[in-house]
Structure 1
Amino acid sequence: MSQLLLARKRQDGFSLIELMVVIAIVLVMSLAIFGVMSTSEGKKRTLTSVNDIDQSGNFAMYQLEKTVRIAGSGFSQSYVQSFGCQLFAKQTTNGVILPFSGATMAQPFNTLNAALGGTFVLAPAIIAKNATTPGMSGSTSDALIIMSGSAGYGEVPTAFTNSPTSAQLNLQSTLSFKPNDLVLVVDQAGSSGALPCMIQQVDSAYTASTNATALPLAGTYYASSIKAKGGAIRNLTDYSNNALAMGIGNSARNPPSFQLLGVGDNNVLFQYDLLQGGTYDTAIPTADGVFEMHALYGVDTNNDGLVDKWVDPSTTGYDYATLESGTVAANNTLLTIKAIRIGLIMRTSLQEKAPVSPAPPATTGPLTLFSDLGKTLTYTRTLTTAEQNYRYRTIESTIPLRNSLLLN
């Protein structure tokens, strides 16, 4: 009888209380496991985002260094004639491209272009203070105007023997030029500063010879006359027999780099080709995660080739409107600029969870750049409550202008 009751009791299973206890234990364990997984996933996302902006920041700075370091190549050796000359250039496909002929320039450079009236002068490196306003940041960032040739050899300017015709340069020697080369034509500077200069193109059918002195012009960038939107006209035949011709690259293989660089919307660093070598009036994304960009000039005050002080680009005489004016004083200031110091503020794309008080936010701020240069040159960015829910990195680099180091 006792064995029958025992067997029957075993068939009854778990009681309701026992099941509830088991469910409660499983629920507690599930919540604990979910909490651990959620925390782990959050840390993983944060770590991944921070790694991403570290890599993006390094890549962005690499791109900037590569562009800035060679600023002035191909024309710095003739700075007396070339620095500050107003650029005139025309394409067969897009018409006049310099001065910029459009009503507005592609973002984020429209404000910069409007401030200069579409006119750009030849200069190695100019910082345009507060020239862009990235949508994510809402605060202004600096832009860079960087110009360099890429001829590689034969960069010594060639003197004219006679004034040019409408489709030919008359030079002492044409040996250093090749078909489709881009040529910068500059004249002797006047008492008020550099005269306008033109970008021309060597005829694709040109064949170099030892004794040749005539350089025929034709191609995409050739124009005997260029009329800017404001009415200014530059003719090739306006140049005197004291003018110079400089090879600045090849339109097909190795074009020069006349670039604008600045931060735009969506935390993107953009690059813009003033020579319109690609799609017309298009800013090209270069690196992401860039929240803001700021820069300073490294200035040589005693002509020893060393940076003696750092200057904010809003300082009188160093503001970009003055340096783009082409005056003798502005060109002399350009000669003293030997380096550019760039600071980037990087920001993650993923927003952190809003902290529960009293826990601190992801980034309390403020963020600073150039803090080692003293209070007057330190850039400080105070973060709003919403901005504090992202993570940030700051990256700085001092980039020498190697083509300007030996100029006095």
Structure 2
Amino acid sequence: MSLLQQAARRHQRGFSLVEILVGMAVGFVVTIIIYQVISTYEGIKRSTTSGADTQQNGIFSLSTIERDVRAAGWGLPTATVMPCATYLTYYSTGAASGAVPNFPNTPVRITDGGTAAGASDSITMLWGTSIRSNVRNVLLQNVTANPPGTPAANLQPTSNVGMSSVGGFVWLTDDANNCALTRITASVTNPASTTSVILSHDSGTGTATAPVYNPPAAFMTANGWPATYTSNPRIFDVGALTQRTYSVVGGSLISRDFFSSMTEAELANNVVGLKAQYGISAAGSQVVNNWVSATGTWATPSMDDFKRIKAVRIAVVVRSPLKERIKSGNTACDTTTAAPASWSGGPALDLSNDADWRCYRYRSFETVVPVRNVLWANYS
């Protein structure tokens, strides 16, 4: 074999074992570095995406509740023109019936959820659509309300000006100050007064998506509804009513509207807490000088006390949708070590009902909303 052939043969040899091992070691180190970079990036991506989802849920939840608090009280008669001693309401879905659940009889009502683990407050707002809700419409005749569905039970207002259409609500009351919420089922011209109408409010059986709100005679008798309205009977038109309650159930913000459908609607997930307080003023003032929870006398405030409520403070606590990994060397999550607070100096949420609550990040969204329709009504 010539020297030239031997040289060519040496150039055709493969890698030696040492060279292969060195190459594998270098490749392994590069792989580890790439994995660490990807892992770090994925962690940042998880945190960024989780934070964006948390902010979106929190802002949406708070703005939705705030919008309804601002609407609360619109289209409702004030206590000055309709001083009710008793509020009488009814609903029927066909499967269930009774007084309208959680009827607030005031524009805003907070229900304190207590201090148990996982407990949250709920808040209910009430408003109507009538622009003449404070205008009393005297009836042309005394009303024999029980039994309903008879000519004597129909309502004959002195004027049909500003009256809502069929399906709207009116308050029926007299000088005894028993206020019965009544839904109009029919409206025809009054032959005895062509500028007025005769309003029917027949009872019936509703469904889960279309409840009825006029009670049958048996319910009225069993629950002490007045059988007649004879001392200056009158009605106040409130139009279409909205009574919406917000609460936290199973980690989601839930709403229920009792005058359109009794079904619950999920608005946002990963909401773990809702807290609310009344901002109250001294009697005769419009300046908030104290914040109180809906406990004690403020659980069911009297009308005089309710006139002192000028604002509502609301906090929605939202958690990240992704559970954080346990750090290397730890045996338990420590992403969050202290229970999230509702607002600065406010009550903290006890989340100990969830064994993994420390594995999530939390953020509180808080605002103060004036009950402006009460202010416009010159409540003092």
For the criterion TM > 0.5, the same-fold answer is: yes
Q: Letter of the aligned partner of 2:374 in structure 1?
A: S
Residues 76 and 83 of structure 1 are in contact (CA less than 8 Å); yes or no, is this contact kept in structure 2?
Answer: no
2:236 to 246, 255, 258: 246
1:318 matched to which residue of 2?
298
Q: CA deviation at 1:196?
A: 4.4
Distance in 1 between residues matched to 2:174 and 2:312, nearest whole Å: 29
1:66 matched to which residue of 2?
67
Distance in 2 between residues matched to 1:23 and 1:239, nearest whole Å: 96
1:371 counterpart SS class: coil
Which ranges in structure 1 are unaligned for 5 or more consecutive residues?
A: 101-117, 250-254, 324-329, 373-377
Distance in 1 between residues matched to 2:95 and 2:81, nearest whole Å: 29
Q: CA deviation at 1:216?
A: 3.7
1:142 matched to which residue of 2?
121
CA RMSD across the alignment: 3.1
1:379 pairs with 2:363: no
1:274 pairs with 2:258: yes
1:123 pairs with 2:101: no
Q: CA deviation at 1:296?
A: 0.6
Residues 85 and 122 of structure 1 are in contact (CA less than 8 Å); yes or no, is this contact kept in structure 2?
Answer: no
Distance in 1 between residues matched to 2:220 and 2:188, nearest whole Å: 32
Against the structure 1 CA distance between its residues 142 and 63, is the aligned structure 2 distance closer, same or farther, given a 3 Å change threshold? same
Distance in 2 between residues matched to 1:142 and 1:158, nearest whole Å: 36
1:342 pairs with 2:314: yes
Distance in 1 between residues matched to 2:91 and 2:333, nearest whole Å: 56
Q: CA deviation at 1:189?
A: 6.6
Against the structure 1 CA distance between its residues 182 and 206, is the aligned structure 2 distance closer, same or farther, given a 3 Å change threshold? farther
Q: Deviations over 1:91-115 (max 9, x none)?
A: 5x63774415xxxxxxxxxxxxxxx
Residues 91 and 214 of structure 2 are in contact (CA less than 8 Å); yes or no, is this contact kept in structure 1?
Answer: yes
Residues 88 and 198 of structure 1 are in contact (CA less than 8 Å); yes or no, is this contact kept in structure 2?
Answer: yes
Residues 88 and 225 of structure 2 are in contact (CA less than 8 Å); yes or no, is this contact kept in structure 1?
Answer: no
Against the structure 1 CA distance between its residues 356 and 96, is the aligned structure 2 distance closer, same or farther, given a 3 Å change threshold? closer
Structure-to-structure mapping, 1:119-198, within 5 angstroms:
120-130=103-113, 138-151=117-130, 153-161=131-139, 162-165=141-144, 166=148, 167-188=153-174, 195-198=178-181
Larger radius of gyration: 2
TM-score, normalisation: structure 2: 0.83
Q: CA deviation at 1:234?
A: 2.7
Q: CA deviation at 1:268?
A: 0.8
2:15 matched to which residue of 1?
14
1:282 counterpart SS class: strand
Distance in 2 between residues matched to 1:119 and 1:242, nearest whole Å: 29
Q: Deviations over 1:131-153 (max 9, x none)?
A: 798xxxx42100112211122x2
Against the structure 1 CA distance between its residues 228 and 308, is the aligned structure 2 distance closer, same or farther, given a 3 Å change threshold? farther
Between the aligned residues of both structures, percent identity stands at 25
Q: CA deviation at 1:83?
A: 5.7
Distance in 2 between residues matched to 1:96 and 1:242, nearest whole Å: 34
Residues 333 and 356 of structure 2 are in contact (CA less than 8 Å); yes or no, is this contact kept in structure 1?
Answer: no
Q: Deviations over 1:282-337 (max 9, x none)?
A: 211122221100011010113222212111212x2101xx34xxxxxx12111111
Q: CA deviation at 1:178?
A: 3.6
1:231 matched to which residue of 2?
222
1:130 counterpart SS class: coil
